[in-house]
Amino acid sequence: MSKSLTFTFTQAEKDEALRHFLAQDERKKANRKSVQDEMAKEGKFILLDSSFYISDDHELCQRCVDVASIEIDGIDGRDYPDFSDAFVSKANWDDGTPLSDDELNELQNQHPDLIYRRISDAAFGA
């Protein structure tokens, strides 16, 4: 017969464990952000939540967004300079796989300067 052990934690211990977890999560995000910044210097764009994945061989892999594949819809010249109705309607990963709706939103939220340049180019025919 096996015995189970029960541990009771005080609220202070629970709070400390949560603080530790959140701090660890922030360190991971900061590390991914530094990778993102380095990639951007090379003209490559990654998404913090969606660019990293584990392959079938259990390897950590990274993919980039194909910037040339980004399509913008909802451009209204009367809304210049804000273009608040414009949005990323389509984009592909560098392997040609389309980004999901969540990934498109992530791209737009994480790279607003890139998206604004694409909107401006589309609006003014550059």
Overall pTM > 0.75: no
**pLDDT of 115 strictly over 70:** yes
pLDDT tens-digit readout, 16-43: 887 887 787 788 777 767 776 776 666 6
Mean pLDDT across the chain, nearest whole number? Answer: 80
88, 117 Cβ separation under 8 angstroms: no
pLDDT band, residue 117 (cuts 50/70/90): confident
Q: What is the arithmetic mean of pLDDT over 33-55?
A: 73
Length of the chain measured in residues: 126
Tell me the per-residue pLDDT of 73-87, one tens digit each, with 9 for 90 and over.
888 877 777 788 888
Residue with tokens 């400390």: 16
Taking the C-alpha atoms of residue 120 and residue 77, their distance in angstroms, rounded to an integer, is: 10
User: Does the pLDDT at position 1 exceed 70?
Assistant: no
Q: How confident is the model at residue 103 (pLDDT cuts 50, 70, 90)?
A: very high
pLDDT reported for residue 57:
79
